[in-house]
Amino acid sequence: MPEMTFTLRWPDGAIQDCYSPSLVMHDFLTDDTSYPIDEFMSRAVTALTQAGERVKARYGRYCTSAAAQIEALQQSSTRYRDGRVTVVTMAPGREALP
């Protein structure tokens, strides 16, 4: 199962490197794009939940890395009342999609 990383920039300029066990993130986020925090969190949590479910379907257990990444994003997002999150990069890119 292809995995990926993505890098975020929070409203204060803080950079966060993230992980997904699936390329499904491309269905919900686009690199070099900014999202309001609430919209970003909704998209990211949905995508990571689906990624975890894909792992479960293939290997018989939910991906703890996907759950941990959701938790890390939720912790990061609580530092901001508003603003935008920028998806700086996603690797591999969309060209890796089947």
Q: How confident is the model at residue 62 (pLDDT cuts 50, 70, 90)?
A: confident
- Does position 93 have pLDDT exceeding 80, yes or no? no
Q: Is 32 left (phi over 0), alpha (psi -120 to 50) or beta?
A: left
**Residue 92: predicted pLDDT:** 81
Q: How confident is the model at residue 94 (pLDDT cuts 50, 70, 90)?
A: low
Least Cα distance to 51 among 13, 11, 5, 98 occurs for: 5
pTM, 2 dp: 0.90
Q: How confident is the model at residue 35 (pLDDT cuts 50, 70, 90)?
A: very high
Q: Where are the domains of the chain?
A: 4-96
Q: How confident is the model at residue 81 (pLDDT cuts 50, 70, 90)?
A: confident
**Residue 97: predicted pLDDT:** 60
Q: What is the pLDDT of residues 39-55, one digit of tens each?
A: 999 999 999 999 999 99
Would strands 15-20 and 33-36 be described as parallel, antiparallel, or unpaired? unpaired
